[in-house]
Structure 1
């Protein structure tokens, strides 16, 4: 992670759908920053489509893999 403005850090999962392993909720990380007096940065998540933000430890988020629809095999002509 490298420092950004407003005490935010860069993180590879910002903007991607993740699951919080502590709460089981899914959301999109908007920032990685400290939360009040907490010395370690946390992930600031928002539900997909909007809503109320919440925080969770960085070690407690994992990317959500969205299954892609499978295509039937192409038939020869």
Structure 2
């Protein structure tokens, strides 16, 4: 909720379907993908289709991770990550 109330497993809404997470911006290990390490960049619903029309995705948030040193980002279930 944009008014700062809590939503989605106790996470505070940051707007546009993004939620706060204590590990945002930190290195995490992704146990769902062979324990690869990445940086948690976002906690928001996955987007299942590409479109030129702006929209706010719906659904449960996933962890959006960026690889160390750059590269292609990936998503994983939030329960699969922990701080390095």
Both structures adopt the same fold (TM-score exceeding 0.5): yes
Query: Secondary structure of the equivalent of 1:22?
Result: helix
The structure with the larger Rg is 1
Number of positions where the alignment pairs a residue of Structure 1 with one of Structure 2: 64
Give every structure 1 segment of 4 or more consecutive aligned residues whose post-TM-superposition deviation is greater than 4 Å.
none
Determine which structure has the larger strand proportion and give its number. Answer: 2
Matched, 1:28 2:45: no
Where structure 2 has 5 or more consecutive residues not aligned to the other structure, the ranges are: 1-10, 49-57
Q: What's the TM-score, normalizing by structure 1?
A: 0.76
Q: What's the TM-score, normalizing by structure 2?
A: 0.70
Q: CA shift at 1:31, angstroms?
A: 0.3
Q: CA RMSD in A?
A: 1.4
